[in-house]
Amino acid sequence: MDIIHRILKYSSKHIGKAVFAVICLMLNIGINLISPQISKIIVNDVIKGGLRDLLLPLLLLLLFASVIKAAVIYLRSRYFEQFSQDCLYDLRNHMYTHLQGLPYSFYDKNRVGELMSRMTGDLEGIRVFLAVGISTLLENAVYFIGTTAIVLTMNFELGIVTMAATPFIAWCAYRFNKIVKPVFSEIREQQAVLNTVTQENISGVRVVKAFAREAFEIRKFEKENLLNQEKNIEASRTWAKYFPIMDFLSSICLVAVIWYGGSMVAAGRIDLGTVVAFNGYLWMLIMPMNMLGWMINLAAQAITSGQRVFEILDTGSSIREKEDPYRPEECRGEVTFDHVSFAYRDQKILKDLNFHVSAGSTIAIMGATGSGKTSIINLIGRFYDVTSGSVKVDGVDVRDWSMQSLRSQLGIIMQETFLFSDTIEGNILYGNPGATREDVERAARIANAHEFIMEMPMGYETIIGERGMGLSGGQKQRIAIARAIVRNPRILIMDDCTSAVDMETEHEIQEALKEVMKNRTTFIIAHRVSSVRNADQIIIIDDGQIIEHGDHESLMEKRGRYYEMVKLQYKDIDTPEFQRQVI
């Protein structure tokens, strides 16, 4: 009930359309409830009573009622549909907006296919309930109450006989609900699983083919698909039992009315017209009963879907701005890690990190994969919150910053490049929508991307596929670099961003970046010594701890881990001349 209540709360904005639709619905029901009374008059007064003159006006009245009915039926479905579409639009926008506000940690836990199925199938389930469920529910409730009142006042005795089967029908519907509701939850969950499998398969199709695992993938899908089928069949089996029972009970009602009514007419206790009218009312009584199961079905689906949608809407962001956050006019770009520790849930990753990067200087972070480099830089933009200690930008804790202000100071080139299916220019402009074409080209030149872009048939207008398909890994990285440069950030963060380009290109990019890095605080995560040796300070991370800290010269003198790395990288070049230069 709580879920239904919340769904209805979302729709209160569009209540006007719903009210109009309900008015049309009531007119429709009213006409249907009056029609048997006209039949009764025709039978009693015209056919049996011989009042021929009444026939034409009564028929005209019936005809008029039909025309009005046609109009209100049209308006009713149109407005209910419109109402539900409006609500869907709001709810979907709300959900999308909400998803934008959720932190990295939410996306660590939730799979794309699952979220997609909530954004589509579940929202549609709610819409169908608003479009059809509510109107049917209202319609049938009014029919049932209206008809019961009419038949009981027309003839109490025959009325009771007519209604005799209704408790059985209600009981059946209740049983049906108990069985079918859990099945619906399972169906929705299974559909989400199917979505996830499909989405992962399509995203990872190149890996699938590279490892020739198509057969495995097909089996995996078939298994889930089969489960989905079984769950749906289970639900439809319940359905299949429900309808014959309902139909049987309805038929009994019909037989009872004709038999009992007929004998009453024969005994002269009732007129024929009343029995005819009863016959007309019978289906208005039975239909709501029959529909009960179907309505329960719709409501059960809406509740299941509602739960899944609200679960996301209720997920608050663990990363929240404080009231009246820090929003400076200018940012210097000074970064301080003060006794920072960090864990993903329970897994401790970073342990008591301390370092200071003065504005405009360059820091390089080196360390084995999994040592925690990416985790460090994720803390600067407050994509995760520290477990203890503090990360400060310009001396202000990042938790006190306005997130928008803080992140607008950052130009991040991530380890895994993600590009949108847009033109190359569009992708670079993503970093700074206000940039001009010259800015874009300048950034592309620095990133060593301009030349290969110009070689493409449409140049900057070339549309690249999803996630940058159609470009090589190195080309994608270079576009990502341009995207960060065009942003003109105070703090530039490069997470292993030249891993996919060759040495020579890397060297060229590094040379060009020197210009960009001037007056900007820069974080470089890299494995090649050539990329880090000019940094103002270098920190070596091992298992989430700083094990060495200094500049190239001091670390070389120390003859520790850094020295070993340098030696390893230059081991084949053993001319004394070269050794002296590098070491």
Ligand X SMILES: Nc1ncnc2c1ncn2[C@@H]1O[C@H](COP(=O)(O)OP(=O)(O)O)[C@@H](O)[C@H]1O
Q: Give contact residues for ligand X (rule: CB under 6 A).
A: 108, 344, 347, 349, 367, 369-375
Question: From the CB of 510, what's the least distance to Mg ion, in Å?
Answer: 19
Q: Which region among 22-30, 307-315, 373-381, 510-518 touches Mg ion (by CB under 5 A)?
A: 373-381
Q: Is 374 in the site for Mg ion (CB under 5 A)?
A: yes
459 binds, among ligand X, Mg ion, none (CB under 5 to 8 A by kind): none
Question: From the CB of 547, what's the least distance to ligand X, in Å?
Answer: 13
370 binds, among ligand X, Mg ion, none (CB under 5 to 8 A by kind): ligand X
The SS3 of residue 495 is strand
Q: Report the residue number, 108 or 230, with the smaller CB distance to ligand X.
A: 108
Question: From the CB of 498, what's the least distance to Mg ion, in Å?
Answer: 14
CA–CA separation, 393 and 387 (whole Å): 17
Q: Which region among 185-193, 326-334, 410-418, 426-434 touches Mg ion (by CB under 5 A)?
A: 410-418
Q: Report the residue number, 253 or 541, with the smaller CB distance to ligand X.
A: 541
Chain Cα centroid distance, residue 88: 13
Q: How far is CA 441 from CA 68, 421, 469, in A?
A: 66, 19, 21
Q: Report the residue number, 14 or 373, with the smaller CB distance to Mg ion.
A: 373
Q: Under 8 Å CB-to-CB from 342, ≥6 apart: which residues?
A: 348, 349, 350, 375, 379, 384, 386, 387, 544
Q: Report the residue number, 403 or 540, with the smaller CB distance to ligand X.
A: 540
Cα angle, residue 387 at apex, residues 383 and 389 outer, rounded to 5°: 100
Amino acid at 446: I
Question: From the CB of 495, what's the least distance to Mg ion, in Å?
Answer: 6
Are residues 282 and 256 in contact, defined by beta-carbon separation less than 8 angstroms?
no
DSSP state of 165: T
Q: Report the residue number, 400 or 542, with the smaller CB distance to ligand X.
A: 542
Q: How many residues bind Mg ion (CB under 5 A)?
A: 3
Q: Which region among 152-160, 272-280, 300-308, 372-380 touches Mg ion (by CB under 5 A)?
A: 372-380
Question: From the CB of 346, what's the least distance to Mg ion, in Å?
Answer: 21
191 binds, among ligand X, Mg ion, none (CB under 5 to 8 A by kind): none
**What six digits make up the tokens of 124?**
């549609």
Residues 134-153 that bind Mg ion (CB under 5 A): none
Question: From the CB of 389, what's the least distance to ligand X, in Å?
Answer: 17
Half-sphere exposure of 107 (CA within 13 A, CB side): 11
Q: Under 8 Å CB-to-CB from 94, ≥6 apart: which residues?
A: 10, 313
The SS3 of residue 178 is helix
DSSP state of 463: B
**What six digits make up the tokens of 233?**
């069949």
Question: From the CB of 448, what's the least distance to Mg ion, in Å?
Answer: 22
Q: Report the residue number, 353 or 435, with the smaller CB distance to ligand X.
A: 353
Fill in the per-residue mask, 215 to 254: x = in contact with Mg ion (CB under 5 A), - = not in contact.
Answer: ----------------------------------------
Q: Report the residue number, 302 or 494, with the smaller CB distance to Mg ion.
A: 494
**What six digits make up the tokens of 200?**
């992962």
C-beta nearest to Mg ion: residue: 374
The region that residue 550 occupies, defined by phi over 0 for left and psi between -120 and 50 for alpha, beta otherwise, is: left
100 binds, among ligand X, Mg ion, none (CB under 5 to 8 A by kind): none
**What six digits make up the tokens of 17?**
């359309």
Q: Report the residue number, 88 or 532, with the smaller CB distance to Mg ion.
A: 532
Question: From the CB of 371, what's the least distance to ligand X, in Å?
Answer: 4
Q: Report the residue number, 52 or 348, with the smaller CB distance to ligand X.
A: 348
372 binds, among ligand X, Mg ion, none (CB under 5 to 8 A by kind): ligand X
Question: From the CB of 374, what's the least distance to Mg ion, in Å?
Answer: 3
CA–CA separation, 360 and 85 (whole Å): 52
Question: From the CB of 183, what's the least distance to Mg ion, in Å?
Answer: 44
CA–CA separation, 453 and 326 (whole Å): 40
Q: Is 499 in the site for Mg ion (CB under 5 A)?
A: no
349 binds, among Mg ion, ligand X, none (CB under 5 to 8 A by kind): ligand X
DSSP state of 322: P
375 binds, among Mg ion, ligand X, none (CB under 5 to 8 A by kind): ligand X
Question: From the CB of 304, what's the least distance to ligand X, in Å?
Answer: 30
CA–CA separation, 126 and 108 (whole Å): 27
Q: How far is CA 345 from CA 118, 146, 387, in A?
A: 25, 59, 10
Across the beta sheet with 347-357, the strand order is 347-357, 335-344, 388-393, 396-397
The SS3 of residue 523 is strand
Residues interacting with Mg ion, by CB under 5 A? 373-374, 415
